Amino acid sequence: MQVFDNYIAGERVAPADGKRFASINPTTGKVWGEFAESSRADVDRAVHAAQAAFAGPWGKLSPTRRGRLLMAWGDRIAENAEAIAAMETQQNGKLIAEMRAQARVVKDFLYYFGGLADKVEGRVIPLDRQSVLNYTLREPLGVVGVIVPWNSPTFLTIMNVSPALAAGNTIVIKPSEVTSASAFELARLAEEAGVPPGVINVVTGARAAGEALVEHEGVAKISFTGSEAGGKAIAAKAGARLAGCTLELGGKSPNIVFGDANLDQAEAGVLAGIFAAAGQTCVAGSRALVHESVYDEMQRRLVARANRIQLGDPLLAQTQMGPVATQAQLAKDEQMVQRALSEGAELLCGGERAKLAGFEDGLFYKPTILHRAPADSHIMREEVFGPVLALTPFRDEEEAIRIANSTRFGLAAGVWTRDVKRAHTLARRLQAGTVWINTYRALTFNSPFGGYKMSGLGRANGMEAIDQYLQTKSVWCELGDEVQDPFVLRT
Ligand code: NAD
């Protein structure tokens, strides 16, 4: 059994009240490690460490040097990608191949934002009064609290931490209670790369630890990735003390397949959207809207492929779908499918747990496709976060857009067509932060990512991301000797 303490100011620190919680491997169902169940006292200690690093070593570093340290951190993570991936698969049951790819690619985020660190520039504003110099400074906020979910822990941590650090802030990370281990490895590697103690701190725990971070007066901004309910609760709390928040939340993203699409590509894209990662991605294409002219064919193709998906040990190369991450997620998958059936949907495949030899306690759920669910039914509106696809026919472009936009979410959408005019018309009319045309689930460090509507607030990645972690100061300087009338506003 491995025991993990918090990581504060470069030290391993046991929880103040000694409380810990267990972590379960979803493939075997067995407990393998214990983490600190952090209290307010632990969170307070971490925030103070981050404040001291902000006022001290991190704040005093030149932006270029700060950027170089982030790049060096990226190198260290890439060198240790295998070990990080193994930790993540042990905790969330996702395919080792996916976790490995994520652990390798995060260095590109640190290179990009490390490179941006010394490109944060103010402006000189041309005023009417030429004797006045007015310019802007773009300054970091202070301590940023980063709260992440369990589905892609390293990827989502680095995606959000890198712009915040590049902007000059310091960090307290509260990883998911399901996947807390890799954050410690990331922090250790940052230390090895030369990032000063206190710049990155890690406190573990469940929701209460996250709440303590959100409510802490010393935290200037919260970067939250997780559920809609969590995001709303955090926005309300942060709003109460006028702290900012960036929210990356859930979705009910549609894949829209037109009759003129390359159906081989569309089939692969719809499958990737919902069964890759067992549907446990925020951008899961959990609704497939298919034109009536190709509906029967797409249905046949998707069901045949879904039935052939190789479920198994996520550590094996031939496995295509591992377990779902938690008992709660498995129960949710089951309940939502049952409810869909009771509300009129028909089951085309899956719809039950899978029992695998050698993994009797594993949390496996079969790839599931439902169709003809009523437009207003629960399965058409709510996120499952599991391997459950709702298939629906549409008659024309207008109907496709109407159905696609008919949820309160707006994270992503896929459009499959050879008609370039239609593709770009839809790109404008779909209410989603990302629109993929003839591709799906593509994401990179330099392209902005985030949600419309209830899928989020603010943007990760790209130039937009660093702006989330800066504030602008306007500096006015009178250069002339003229004495001003004290009772007249100067413009
Ligand atoms: P969750 O909201 O239950 O938990 C996420 C994290 O927030 C955890 O660390 C949790 O301890 C903490 N937390 C939860 N409620 C909180 C609160 N009120 N105050 C402070 N902290 C709180 O989400 P989850 O089940 O871990 O993750 C799945 C969800 O994350 C899905 O809805 C998925 O769509 C979303 N997600 C979004 C993105 C994105 O970039 N848009 C990426 C991945 C996952």
SS3 label, residue 153: helix
CA of 175 to the centre of ligand 1 (A): 10
pLDDT at 484: 87
pLDDT at 438: 98
CA of 470 to the centre of ligand 1 (A): 24
Token digits of residue 472: 């602008």
Token digits of residue 180: 């807390």
Ligand 1 atom at minimum distance from 149 CA: 26
Judged on CB neighbours under 10 Å (0-12, 13-18, 19+), 260 is middle
Start-to-end CA distance of the chain, whole Å, equals 67
SS3 label, residue 6: strand
CA of 223 to the centre of ligand 1 (A): 11
Q: Is 249 in the pocket of ligand 1 (CB under 6 A)?
A: yes
Ligand 1 atom at minimum distance from 329 CA: 25
Q: Is 255 in the pocket of ligand 1 (CB under 6 A)?
A: no
Residue-level pLDDT, tens digit, the chain, 491 residues? 899 999 999 999 999 999 999 999 988 889 989 999 999 999 999 999 999 999 999 999 999 999 999 999 999 999 999 999 999 999 989 999 999 999 999 999 999 999 999 999 999 999 999 999 999 999 999 999 999 999 999 999 999 999 999 999 999 999 999 999 999 999 999 999 999 999 999 999 999 999 999 999 999 999 999 999 999 999 999 999 999 999 999 999 999 999 999 999 999 999 999 999 999 999 999 999 999 999 999 999 999 999 999 999 999 999 999 999 899 999 999 999 999 999 999 999 999 999 999 999 999 999 999 999 999 999 999 999 999 999 999 999 999 999 999 999 999 999 999 999 999 999 999 999 999 999 999 999 999 999 999 999 999 999 999 999 999 999 999 999 989 899 988 77
The secondary structure of the chain in percent helix, strand, coil, rounded to multiples of 5, reads: 40, 25, 35
Protein residue with least CA distance to atom 19, ligand 1: 211
Which single residue is written with the structure tokens 């709660």? 328
Protein residue with least CA distance to atom 12, ligand 1: 207
Q: Is 382 in the pocket of ligand 1 (CB under 6 A)?
A: no
Protein residue with least CA distance to atom 38, ligand 1: 282
Q: Is 225 in the pocket of ligand 1 (CB under 6 A)?
A: yes
Q: Is 37 in the pocket of ligand 1 (CB under 6 A)?
A: no
Rounded to whole angstroms, the Cα distance separating 35 from 16 reads 13
Rounded to whole angstroms, the Cα distance separating 253 from 449 reads 14
Q: Is 177 in the pocket of ligand 1 (CB under 6 A)?
A: yes
Choose among 91, 81, 98: nearest CA to 2. Answer: 91
pLDDT at 160: 98
Task: Name 76's Cβ contacts closer than 8 Å, sequence gap at least 6.
Answer: 189, 190, 192, 193
Q: Is 231 in the pocket of ligand 1 (CB under 6 A)?
A: no
Write out the DSSP string of 185-253: HHHHHHHHHTPPTTSEEE---SHHHHHHHHH-TTEEEEEEES-HHHHHHHHHHHHHTT-EEEEE-----
CA of 227 to the centre of ligand 1 (A): 4
pLDDT at 298: 98
Top mutation candidate among 37, 282, 455 for ligand 1, by most atoms within 8 Å of CB: 282
Crossing angle of the two packed helices 40-55 and 207-215, in degrees rounded to 10: 50
Protein residue with least CA distance to atom 13, ligand 1: 207
Please list the active-site residues.
Answer: 248, 282
CA of 386 to the centre of ligand 1 (A): 15
Sign of CA dihedral 326, 328, 330, 336: negative
DSSP label at 452?
Answer: E
Q: Is 216 in the pocket of ligand 1 (CB under 6 A)?
A: no
CA of 378 to the centre of ligand 1 (A): 20
Write out the DSSP string of 263-320: HHHHHHHHHHHHHGGGG-STT---EEEEETTTHHHHHHHHHHHHHH--B--TTSTT-S
Given the DSSP bridges, would you call strands 456-457 and 244-248 parallel, antiparallel or unpaired? antiparallel
